[in-house]
Amino acid sequence: MKKIKLILEEIDKHLNTLEYEKEKIESLNLDKKDLLDYETIILLDAFIFRFIKLQSAVGEKLFPLFFEILTGKSYTEVSFIDILNTLEKYRFLENAESWNKIRKLRNEFVHIYPWETDLKIEAVKKALVEVETIKNIILKIKEFLNARNI
């Protein structure tokens, strides 16, 4: 399963970078005045970009391939909600809706305009929490794969 290993390497790069950025953001109060500082804007933009990349890599690449490993079925034969429900069934996800919430947050970032500072701050605060959720999902999947020498 060389392909899943490559995807996990990509995910690890996103996650490691995100954790670095997360630590820096958490040291701020993160309010409107922070968005006047150019360095903070760059930090938040980098965090948002990396969050989007991580969410996409996990949802669009890892979940489908992992579904195939779990079930022996092709992910092309089922809908994405079926993949999420399967991951929930095997307790890799708390529930399918929790992943949809993360996906909606990713979409929020894409549609926030620069002048919508309150929305941006709230979305970043939500994402800071969801990074841990995503990390826990990845760890469970890695433990499963390692236990089976995949």
Per-residue pLDDT of the chain (150 residues; tens, 9 = 90+): 679 999 999 999 999 999 999 999 999 988 888 888 899 999 999 999 999 999 999 999 999 999 999 999 999 999 999 999 999 999 999 999 999 999 999 999 988 887 788 899 999 999 999 999 999 999 999 999 999 998
Q: Which of 126, 131, 6 is CA-nearest to residue 61? A: 6
Break the chain into its structural domains and give their ranges: 2-147
**pTM of this structure:** 0.93
Q: Which of 106, 101, 98, 63 is nearest to 82 (CA)?
A: 63
- The pLDDT value given to residue 35: 82
